[in-house]
């Protein structure tokens, strides 16, 4: 085990994958620039050469088409975009190309393509650099959607994604890149489609993803001091989603709170609430609930983003309400950070 940041864990996974298989290539905007996509692609070009690690012209649609063609011909591309928002220019290639080939050709064709998309928010990113659109991708048959939270899972899930026979959208939240954690060395893969209970509990099931899991843990730790035991499930993979782990937890607790870093309407959290309500209704003791981003574009202004994001206090308040308890004093105990639009005072911006 090694103590690594999330970003260095991503880097370690890329080094490992490219060492294991010479058909793995890594390319995209900024892959070889001095900042190496927040450090995630550092030293790849020096080690594996320009034929396997390279930058691309600013044409998201074209570079995605190249990746699909390469994947259809035995190459395993890892394509990187520094913002999910930039990748929207390539949705036709992803949805009508990569996601469909395996099905349309009777499972005889595979598209082993991994698309790394980095999510951002805060620090003035505004409406066009902050969107968490995982629900879009999860809606499309033929795509797998991965959202790791811990450095160990970041490495293990990326390795599994690279060697999956069909396309994977791998979503990294920028607020996680500098978090630290234990990371297994070598080719240590985490299976896609398996959630993880990271905080066992008996009173409320809290289902979360990516950075929202960090806030869920903070809330659960506070609620423990109030005599409330939260079971926090980190989904890790959005598609396929580990329904059995969710259902088993709800059967134990009788309460569900689903969290989402995306917009509320049409969210993954909404799908979780719907499935639990349809298939586990008799297990619920109170109506299921969800917390997600408001259905408005994210403001650029520092002032307007105050109170905009779902934080630990919001989660704790909702859980207290579900338990029939007063939420008085919760927000004072879990105040919004200052500055409020970053995960911590150590965070110095996107680049």
As annotated, the active-site residues are 60, 129
89: Cα within 13 Å, side-chain hemisphere:
12
Question: Which alpha helices (DSSP H) does the chain contain, by range?
Answer: 6-20, 36-39, 44-48, 60-72, 84-87, 91-92, 101-104, 134-138, 151-162, 210-225, 243-253, 268-279, 312-322, 330-333
* Terminal Cα distance for the chain, rounded: 28
Residue 21 DSSP code: -
CA 77 to chain centre: 20
Nearest CA to 144 out of 129, 120, 162 is that of 162
Q: CA-to-CA distance for 79 and 30, rounded, in angstroms?
A: 11
In three-state secondary structure terms, 119 is strand
Q: Where are the beta strands (DSSP E) in 264-305?
A: 289-293
| Cα(165)–Cα(143) distance, integer angstroms | 11
Peptide bond into 339 cis (omega under 30): yes
């Amino acid at each position: 085990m090694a103590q690594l940041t999330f970003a260095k864990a991503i880097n370690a996974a890329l080094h490992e994958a490219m060492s294991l298989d010479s058909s793995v290539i890594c390319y995209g905007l900024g892959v070889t620039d001095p900042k190496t996509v927040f450090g995630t692609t550092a030293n790849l070009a020096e080690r594996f050469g320009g034929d396997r690690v390279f930058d691309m012209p600013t044409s998201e649609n074209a570079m995605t088409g190249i990746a699909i063609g390469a994947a259809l011909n035995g190459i395993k591309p890892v394509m990187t975009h520094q913002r999910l928002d930039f990748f929207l220019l390539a949705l036709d290639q992803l949805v009508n190309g990569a996601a469909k080939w395996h099905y349309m050709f009777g499972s005889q064709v595979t598209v082993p393509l991994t698309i790394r998309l980095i999510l951002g928010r805060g620090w003035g990113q505004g409406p066009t650099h902050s969107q968490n659109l995982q629900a879009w991708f999860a809606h499309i048959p033929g795509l797998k959607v991965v959202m790791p939270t811990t450095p160990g899972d970041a490495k293990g899930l990326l390795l599994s994604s690279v060697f999956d026979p069909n396309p994977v959208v791998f979503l990294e939240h920028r607020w996680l890149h500098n978090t630290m954690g234990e990371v297994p060395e070598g080719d240590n893969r985490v299976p896609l489609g398996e959630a993880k209970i990271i905080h066992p509990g008996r009173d409320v099931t809290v289902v979360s993803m990516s950075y929202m899991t960090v806030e869920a843990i903070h809330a659960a730790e506070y609620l423990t001091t109030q005599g409330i035991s939260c079971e926090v499930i980190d989904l890790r993979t959005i598609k396929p989603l580990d329904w059995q782990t969710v259902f088993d937890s709800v059967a134990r607790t009788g309460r569900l709170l689903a969290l989402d870093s995306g917009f509320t309407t049409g969210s993954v959290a909404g799908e979780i609430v719907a499935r639990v309500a349809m298939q586990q209704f008799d297990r619920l003791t109170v109506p299921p609930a969800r917390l997600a981003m408001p259905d408005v574009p994210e403001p650029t202004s520092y002032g307007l983003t105050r109170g905009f994001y779902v934080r630990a206090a919001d989660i704790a308040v909702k859980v207290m309400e579900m338990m029939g308890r007063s939420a008085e004093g919760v927000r004072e105990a879990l105040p919004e950070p200052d500055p409020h639009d970053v995960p911590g005072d150590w965070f110095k911006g996107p680049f």
